[in-house]
Amino acid sequence: MSAVGTPVPIGRRSALVLGAASVAGLMMLVWPLLVQAEDGARVQPPFLFLVLLPVVLAVVVAELSEGGLDARALAVLGVLTAVNAVLRGMGAGVAGLELVFFLLILAGRVFGPGFGFVLGALSLFAGALLTAGVGPWLPYQMLVAAWVGLGAGLLPRRVLGRPVTGRWEIALLATYGVVAAYVYGLLLNLQGWPYLLGIGIPGVDGEGLMFVPGDPLHENLGRFLVYTLVTSTTSWDTGRAITTALAVVLLGPSVLVVLRRAARRARVVRA
């Protein structure tokens, strides 16, 4: 061990596994856009994915911690997971008031992409345990939240040779927060759309908001966008985006200081 910048470093091998798993996970999320069917055949939603995704998640998380999470990273991870789970529990009663993302993004930024990924997945899991939210949707939520944390860790530290700090950093994180909030809503909706609305029969349906396998991509996509616009974008997703951005702008600076102090102390100094 020498001086390590991030508590959960991603090696080349982990990056490969993470990449392959993300592709597999993404396919399971956007499956309605990928499915190819013959006309007239009734397509069943792929319930199999509900069992498959936990396996994928488990492998990635095991791989990321394979180098051995050092005790400090683990303790910080545990504590932030708890805070996030509580924040999620607090927001659960109010539509769109999601504070999970804000701390997840800040922590991903400070502790790096690997940490962000694991924190995202664990936060949603612990939050579900806390709020009785364990359901078939949980693995999907965990995966997308993990990506949000990962992405926050991958945000550039320097732009045009200048380090991104202070106000610019907050602006960057807030913008990312808005994007992440919408993408999160969009991906989860896409996955759940056929489950909740039903699947049309190719060649028979064509006018509803339903997902119709085999229709051209743009038609299904169009229907999906209307569906998501009506059901979530105007309420949940926008609420989530606004809270996240506001929280990053108003609380971000002081929370970043707190996290950075912890990161400094949590660093391996010499061995």
Partner 1 sequence: MIELRGITFTYDDAATPVLDRVDLEVEEGELVLVAGRTGVGKSTLLGVVPGLVPRFTGGTLGGDVLVDGTSIVDLPPRERAHLVGYVGQDPVAGFVTDTVEEELAYGMEQLGLAPTTMRRRVEETLDLLGIADLRARDLRALSGGQQQRVAIGAVLAAHPRLLVLDEPTSALDPTAAEEVLASLTRLVHDVGLSVLLAEHRLERVVPFADRTCLLTGDGRVRVGDTADVLREAPVVPPIVDLGRRLGWEPLPLTVRDARRRVRGLGLPAAPDAPVRTATAAGLTGRGVTVAHGRRAVVREVDVDLPSGIVTALMGRNGAGKSSLIWALQGSRKRYAGRVTVDGVDPAALSADERVRRVGLVPQTAADLLYLETVREECAAADAGARAEAGSCAALLATMVPGIDPEQHPRDLSEGQRLALVLAIVLVAEPPVLLLDEPTRGLDYPAKEALAVTLRRLADTGHAVLVASHDVEFVARVADRVVVMAEGEVVSAGPVRDVLAESPSFAPQVAKITGAGWLTVDEVVAAAGSAGESS
Partner 2 sequence: MSGRATVARLPRELHPLAWWGWAVGLAGAASTTSNPYLQLLLVAVACIVVLARRTDHPWARVFHLYLAVGALIVVLRVLFRLLVGGAYGTRVLVDLPEIPLPDAVLGIQLLGPVTQEALLGGLYDGLRLATIVICVGAANALANPKRLMASMPAALYEVGTALVVAVNVMPQLAQSVRRVRAAQRLRPSPGGRARRWTSIRRVLVPVLEDALDRSLALAAGMDTRGYGRSGEATRAQRLRTGALMLGGMVGIGVGVYGVLDLTAPRWLALPMLALGVALAVAGMVASGRRVGRTRYRPAPWRWPEVVVVGTGIAVLAAFLVLRGSEPLVLEPDLLAAPVVSVAALAAALLGLVALLAPPPPGTDGGAR
Binding flag, residue 118, partner 2 (CB under 8 A): yes
Binding flag, residue 141, partner 2 (CB under 8 A): no
Shortest separation between residue 100's beta carbon and partner 1, angstroms: 22
Report the residue number, 154 or 221, with the smaller CB distance to partner 2.
Answer: 221
Binding flag, residue 92, partner 2 (CB under 8 A): no
Out of partner 2, partner 1, none, which partner does residue 105 contact, by CB within 5 to 8 A per kind?
none
Task: Build a one-symbol-per-residue string for 50-79: x at contacts with partner 1 by CB under 8 A, - elsewhere.
Answer: ---------------------xx-------
Closest by alpha carbon to 49, among 73, 30, 66?
A: 30
* Measured CA angle at 148 (ends 142, 154), to 5 deg: 135
Side-chain half-sphere CA neighbours of 53 within 13 A: 24
C-alpha–C-alpha distance, residues 84 and 76, integer Å: 12
Q: Which residue has the tokens 């006018």?
A: 207
CB 88 within 8 A of CB 100: yes
Report the residue number, 12 or 264, with the smaller CB distance to partner 1.
Answer: 264
Binding flag, residue 116, partner 2 (CB under 8 A): no
Q: What is the DSSP letter of 266?
A: T
Out of partner 1, partner 2, none, which partner does residue 120 contact, by CB within 5 to 8 A per kind?
none
Residue list 247-266, contact with partner 1 (CB under 8 A): 254, 257, 261, 265
**CA distances (Å), origin 164, targets 123, 146, 147, 161, 256:** 27, 23, 22, 9, 13
Residue list 52-81, contact with partner 2 (CB under 8 A): 52, 55-56, 58-63, 65-66, 68-72, 74-79, 81
CB 44 within 8 A of CB 31: no
Shortest separation between residue 249's beta carbon and partner 1, angstroms: 17
C-alpha–C-alpha distance, residues 172 and 262, integer Å: 22
Out of partner 2, partner 1, none, which partner does residue 196 contact, by CB within 5 to 8 A per kind?
partner 2
